[in-house]
Amino acid sequence: MLEVTVNINYKGKHYLTNVIVQKGTPKIQILKLAQKQVKIQW
């Protein structure tokens, strides 16, 4: 498991979030997880 820090732009603001994924996870899937997490927290 890896902790990846992702910078997401959501509703015109920038958010920095951490996502925990398995090694070898594609970047697009990491971005989708980060966007989902920001939407839930918002």
Q: Would you list the domain boundaries of the chain?
A: 2-41
pTM: 0.79
Q: How many whole angstroms separate alpha carbon 5 and alpha carbon 24?
A: 15
Output the pLDDT for position 16.
92
Output the pLDDT for position 41.
83
Output the pLDDT for position 11.
87
pLDDT tens-digit map of 2-42: 999 999 988 889 999 999 999 999 999 999 999 999 988 87
Q: Which residues, in sequence order, are CB contacts of 19 under 8 Å at separation 6+?
A: 3, 4, 6, 30, 33, 34, 37
